């Protein structure tokens, strides 16, 4: 007989996967807000100052395979939990362990307040999903919602209450290793993904089964690090902050995110952890955020290295008064806040407010009703790697693949070629496809590319494998065997890219080239004259200009998680028609960075025929592959682009419609993209900005009218006085398959 809890999970999962959870994720909680506040106040009234401060202290348990930052588990952690002076721990998972820890907190400690258990659940838990950059390539928020739902289900079954995700940092610099954790370069797409993930993790009610609380991070502009070097200085204008970096955070807050994590970086001289304008004025006063802010790992203590705090006590004072409520791993709050209050340096009311925020969240999660939520080892076992989860992961993975090139329709390959060569250091690698931050993903559960291909081909087909070279060393000893295999084969699938630890936190690169001797292997394999399909596995856009010029088919696979090989085989053999589109521009070389589609025009827009214009002497103006680009096995034709009105007022909306037809022979999905440009405004505007997209399935010959509504919000921007408003004038409205191929109409706003 199946465990009753299992049935509950099945029902919960099925119902929560059925829809994307509606627009508002906060309704359910709102009704009980007044009663939660009353309960929180009554708890607060009985806590000592030390116990209050304890609620603001968070420590890494270090019970997971790897710590996610520097440092060790505190030897006194269990004693501190027993004393009721720890609010939250992370890097501790497993139904049994969490139950034990929680038991200590609620039965042995004087406060009886349950612990809040966090973890970086970034792209799946045990069933590993594609890395976020890959999922963003799906341009499919519903699919991304389902992915987050599965991650939440497995994590919750393992005792987790809270994920430090989604990472919603906009990244325009692929040298920055954490580009892999976000949704790319665009604020609009980033906002759609942020919202989908928050709703997927939390559902409409945090207390319902198999939810985990979200924590959009890193607030803010962490991706703007100079030189693409992690933790580095960010120096941007308020306009860029508001227009580029903040929209995904706003979307996450609007979707009901229970917490936010501030970032390591400074912006214009003020580290985020101590930035009152960000954490209080914008986040709380402007946006109405009601949750709490957690610091990043040790970022309170790092205010000393930044040079704005002389002591750890100073750092604690600056952070708590700016609006950072919980201290992750600096131990600054625990060591100093009570003394600061006693000395009259920090008002106790500031501590009280932070504690209220933390306790409110614990209430919203239902922890006071049931501190042991889902800590049942049988349910955990049934949920991890559940077949439904694997099926959803496979679907997400194939939706995340971007077909970059397909000369002479080399793809899809036939399944019955006599000999197929699978070559490359990533072809049989079962670890790299997990990507960075893979929670409890296990290499031995990954379907490698080689596995997936072998499984998919006809029984008569032989699949040969040669590694060729390693990922990042210069040796060529393996070339001979690989080339010998390629020469005998009818087609070659060549898997190249980066190792798992070459992107992610603290994993920045100054080069975007294929590492080690992979480029040499690529050239040698192409030289055999055999048809080559290049499959990339990587955590950032790579500068693959040579490949783009010489390899007939290129598949961008990013890191696709547990179902990597199955998803790639689905695309390579045509069981799935690729529908992914780039969420980020692919530079020709690292020297072109930053290159992004929504740039300004400048006074001298680049013009290769004209010397004194904004360009490089040795590079074309455009990226190698533009934002929004991706091929399909069919083609789509656009016509009949219309506006419902040629002229509107500043408060009106207008419909934009376009007819899209599947002009090829296969069913496929097109991502119809809407961009706008404000032609003349009181401040310079980007040459184009994404303001809508729709992913539509079309059978061969089928056509559909796609309708977008442009509202004043889409046309508005921050004027010279930073007022968000629509200015009269003309707007170019553009629709097309990607940012470098659009049709346009002019809209006049009076």
- Residues known to be catalytic: 296
Asked if residue 481 lies in contact with residue 525, where contact means CB atoms within 8 angstroms, the answer is no
Alpha-carbon distance 600 to 109, whole Å? 58
Closest approach of Cβ 71 to ligand BGC, in Å? 10
Number of residues located near ligand BGC, criterion CB under 6 A: 8
Nearest to 658 by CA among 729, 534, 552, 744: 744
| Least distance CB 326 / ligand BGC (angstroms) | 12
Cα(541)–Cα(522) distance, integer angstroms? 17
CA-to-CA distance for 203 and 186, rounded, in angstroms? Answer: 25
Taking CB positions, which residue lies at the least distance from ligand BGC?
A: 68
Which helix (H) or strand (E) segment holds residue 593: the answer is: none
Instruction: Identify the burial level of 8 via C-beta atoms within 10 angstroms of its C-beta, where 0-12 means exposed, 13-18 middle and 19 or more buried.
Output: middle
Cβ 273 to ligand BGC shortest distance, Å: 12
Minimal distance, residue 354 CB to ligand BGC, in Å: 19
State yes or no: residue 120 binds ligand BGC (CB under 6 A): yes
CA 166 to mean position of chain CA atoms: 6
Contact between 125 and ligand BGC per CB under 6 A: no
- Contact flag: residue 230 with ligand BGC (CB under 6 A): no
DSSP string over 6-61: HHHHHHHHHHHHHS---S-S-HHHHHTHHHHHHHHHHHHHT--HHHHHHHTEEEE-
Q: Which of 243, 314, 395, 505 is in the footprint of ligand BGC by CB under 6 A?
A: 505
For ligand BGC, the closer of residues 162 and 374 by Cβ is 162
Q: How far is CA 650 from CA 177, 444, 748, in A?
A: 41, 58, 10
Name which of residues 47 to 106 contact ligand BGC (CB under 6 A): 68-69
How far apart are CB 216 and ligand BGC at their closest, in Å?
11
Q: Which two tokens stand for residue 378?
A: 């049988």
Nearer to ligand BGC, 65 or 713 (CB): 65
Structure tokens at 355: 């504690």
Query: Taking a C-beta distance cutoff of 8 angstroms, is the pair 61, 73 a contact?
Result: yes
Backbone dihedral angles phi then psi of residue 344, each to the nearest 5 degrees: 80, 10
CB of 298 to ligand BGC, least distance (A): 8
Beta partners for residue 90, in sequence order = 60, 118
Instruction: Among 217, 394, 399, 588, indicate the residue that binds ligand BGC (CB under 6 A).
Output: 217
* CA-wise closest residue to 709 among 636, 635, 656: 656
Q: CA-to-CA distance for 511 and 390, rounded, in angstroms? A: 35
Q: Which residues pair with 326 in a beta bridge?
A: 294
Q: How far is the CB of 492 from ligand BGC (least distance, A)?
A: 38
The verdict on 164 binding ligand BGC (CB under 6 A) reads yes
- Closest by alpha carbon to 596, among 133, 180, 185, 168? 185
In terms of DSSP H, where are the helices of 466-563? 479-488, 518-527, 545-550
Instruction: In whole angstroms, give the CA distance from residue 536 to residue 402.
Output: 10
Q: DSSP 3-state helix, strand, coil percentages of the chain (rounded to 5)? A: 35, 20, 45
Backbone phi, psi, residue 534, to 5°:
-90, 120
Return the SS3 of 692. Answer: strand
Q: How far is CA 302 from CA 67, 307, 336, in A?
A: 18, 8, 15
| Residue entry with tokens 């009259």 | 344
Q: What is the DSSP-derived secondary structure letter of residue 105?
A: I
What SS3 class is residue 201? helix
491-497/327-328 β-pairing: unpaired
Cα–Cα distance measured from residue 232 to residue 501, given in angstroms and rounded to the nearest whole number: 19
What is residue 540's DSSP assignment? S
Residue (154 or 296) nearer to ligand BGC, CB: 296
Nearer to ligand BGC, 120 or 266 (CB): 120
Which one, 296 or 570, has the nearer CB to ligand BGC?
A: 296
Q: Which C-beta is closer to ligand BGC: that of 419 or that of 506?
A: 506
> Cβ 119 to ligand BGC, closest distance in Å?
8
Q: Which two tokens stand for residue 537?
A: 């596995």
- Name the residue nearer to ligand BGC (CB basis): 439 or 469: 439
**Interacting positions 281-340 with ligand BGC (CB under 6 A):** 296-297
- Least Å distance, CB 162 to ligand BGC, is 11
CB of 180 to ligand BGC, least distance (A): 12
Nearer to ligand BGC, 507 or 634 (CB): 507
Q: How far is CA 451 from the centre of its chain?
A: 27
Complex with ligand BGC: residue 289 or 297, whichever CB lies closer: 297
Measured from the CB atom, the residue of 68 and 650 that comes closer to ligand BGC is 68
Residue 121 or residue 726: which is nearer to ligand BGC going by CB? 121
CB of 115 to ligand BGC, least distance (A): 16
Please give the DSSP secondary-structure letter assigned to residue 106: I
From the list 297, 341, 333, 293, the residue with the least C-alpha distance to 315 is 333
Q: How far is CA 7 from the centre of its chain?
A: 31
Q: What is the DSSP string of 106-156?
A: IIISSS-PPPEEEE---SBSSSBPPPHHHHHTTT-HHHHHHHHHHHHHHHH
Spatial separation of the C-alpha atoms in residues 748 and 440, rounded to whole Å: 53
CB of 263 to ligand BGC, least distance (A): 8
Nearer to ligand BGC, 39 or 68 (CB): 68
Per-residue burial over 550-574, b if 16 or more Cβ lie within 10 Å, else e, is ebbbbbbbbbbbbbbbbbbbbbbbe
Comparison of 164 and 597: residue with beta carbon closer to ligand BGC: 164
Least separation in angstroms between CB 297 and ligand BGC: 4
Asked if 232 is part of the footprint of ligand BGC (rule: CB under 6 A), the reply reads no
Q: Could you write out the three-class secondary structure of 560-593?
A: CHHHHHHHHHHHHCCCCCCCCCCCCCECCCHHHC
Q: Give the interface with ligand BGC as residue ranges (CB under 6 A).
A: 68-69, 120, 164, 217, 296-297, 505
């Amino acid at each position: 007989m199946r465990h009753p809890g299992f049935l509950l999970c099945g029902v919960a999962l099925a119902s929560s996967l059925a829809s994307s959870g509606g627009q508002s994720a906060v309704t359910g909680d709102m009704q009980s807000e007044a009663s939660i506040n009353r309960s929180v106040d009554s708890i607060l009234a009985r806590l000592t100052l030390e116990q209050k401060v304890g609620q603001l202290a968070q420590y890494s348990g270090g019970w997971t395979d790897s710590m996610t930052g520097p440092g060790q588990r505190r030897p006194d952690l269990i004693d501190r939990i027993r004393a009721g002076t720890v609010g939250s721990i992370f890097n501790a998972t497993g139904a049994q362990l969490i139950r034990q820890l929680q038991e200590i907190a609620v039965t042995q400690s004087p406060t009886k307040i349950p612990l809040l258990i966090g973890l970086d659940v970034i792209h799946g838990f045990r069933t590993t999903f594609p890395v976020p950059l890959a999922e963003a390539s799906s341009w499919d928020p519903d699919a991304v919602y389902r992915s987050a739902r599965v991650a939440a289900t497995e994590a919750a079954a393992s005792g987790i209450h809270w994920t430090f995700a989604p990472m919603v940092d906009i990244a325009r610099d692929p040298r920055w290793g954490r580009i892999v954790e976000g949704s790319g370069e665009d604020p609009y797409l980033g906002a759609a993904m942020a919202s989908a993930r928050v709703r997927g993790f939390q559902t409409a009610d945090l207390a319902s089964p198999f939810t985990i609380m979200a924590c959009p991070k890193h607030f803010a502009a962490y991706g703007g690090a100079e030189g693409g070097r992690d933790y580095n200085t960010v120096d941007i204008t308020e306009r860029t902050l508001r227009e580029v970096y903040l929209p995904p955070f706003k979307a996450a807050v609007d979707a009901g995110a229970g917490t936010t994590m501030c970032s390591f970086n400074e912006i214009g001289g003020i580290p985020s952890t101590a930035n009152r304008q960000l954490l209080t004025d914008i986040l709380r006063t402007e946006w109405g955020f009601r949750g709490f802010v957690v610091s990043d790992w040790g970022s309170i203590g790092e205010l000393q290295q930044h040079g704005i705090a002389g002591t750890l006590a100073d750092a604690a004072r600056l952070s708590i008064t700016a609006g950072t409520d919980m201290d992750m791993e600096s131990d600054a709050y625990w060591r100093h806040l009570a003394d600061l209050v006693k000395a009259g340096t920090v008002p106790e009311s500031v501590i009280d407010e932070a504690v209220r925020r933390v306790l409110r969240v614990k209430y919203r999660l239902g922890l006071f009703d049931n501190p042991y939520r889902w800590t049942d080892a049988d349910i955990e076992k049934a949920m991890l790697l559940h077949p439904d989860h694997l099926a959803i992961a496979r679907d997400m993975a194939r939706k995340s693949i971007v077909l970059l090139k397909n000369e002479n329709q080399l793809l899809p390959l036939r399944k019955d070629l006599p000999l197929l060569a699978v070559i490359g250091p990533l072809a049989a690698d079962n670890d790299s496809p997990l990507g960075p931050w893979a929670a409890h993903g296990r290499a031995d559960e990954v379907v490698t590319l080689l596995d997936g291909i072998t499984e998919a081909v006809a029984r008569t087909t032989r699949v040969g494998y040669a590694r060729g070279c390693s990922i990042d060393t210069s040796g060529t000893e393996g070339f001979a065997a690989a080339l010998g295999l390629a020469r005998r084969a009818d087609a070659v699938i060549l898997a190249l890219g980066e190792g798992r630890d070459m992107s992610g936190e603290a994993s920045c690169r100054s080069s975007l080239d294929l590492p080690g001797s992979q480029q040499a292997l690529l050239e040698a394999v192409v030289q055999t004259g055999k048809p080559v399909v290049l499959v990339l596995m990587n955590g950032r856009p790579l500068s693959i200009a040579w490949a783009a010029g010489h390899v007939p088919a290129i598949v961008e696979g990013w890191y696709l998680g547990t179902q990597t090989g199955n998803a790639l085989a689905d695309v390579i053999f045509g069981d799935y028609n690729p529908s992914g589109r780039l969420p980020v521009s692919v530079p020709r070389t690292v020297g072109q960075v930053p290159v992004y589609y929504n740039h300004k025009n400048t006074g001298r827009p680049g013009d290769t025929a004209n010397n004194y214009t904004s360009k490089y002497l040795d590079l074309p103006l455009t990226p190698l592959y533009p934002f929004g680009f991706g091929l399909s096995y069919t083609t789509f034709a656009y016509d009949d682009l219309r506006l419902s009105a040629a002229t509107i007022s500043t408060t009106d909306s207008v419909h934009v419609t376009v007819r899209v037809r599947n002009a090829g022979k296969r069913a496929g999905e097109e991502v119809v993209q809407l961009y706008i440009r404000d032609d003349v405004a009181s401040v310079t505007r980007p040459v184009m900005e994404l303001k809508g997209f729709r992913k539509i399935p079309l059978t061969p010959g089928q056509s559909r009218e796609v309708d977008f509504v442009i509202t004043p919000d889409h046309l508005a921007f921050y004027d010279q006085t930073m007022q968000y408003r629509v200015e009269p004038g003309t707007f170019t409205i553009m629709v097309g398959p990607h940012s470098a191929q659009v049709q346009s109409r002019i809209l006049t706003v009076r």
